[in-house]
Amino acid sequence: MRVTLHQDKCVASGQCVLAAQEVFDQREEDGVAVLLDDSPPAGAHDDVRHAAAVCPALAITLAES
């Protein structure tokens, strides 16, 4: 899986961090999401899919490999 985070679309809701904290974080100054791992291990894939699904701005795209 390949994860892309479009920070320009992010509305800083933090849903991705709650769903997959090993893959996403937020900047302290404005809350915009930060991608920690663009190729997460298989054990995190379900959490990352959930994060993409609950993102209100649709700022996360996934490429399944």
What 3 state SS string does the chain have?
Answer: CEEEECCCCCCCCCHHHHHCCCCEEECCCCCCEEECCCCCCHHHHHHHHHHHHHCCCCCEEEECC
Give pTM, 2 decimals: 0.95
65 pLDDT band (50/70/90 cuts)? confident
5-43 per-position pLDDT tens digit: 999 999 999 999 999 999 999 999 999 999 999 999 999
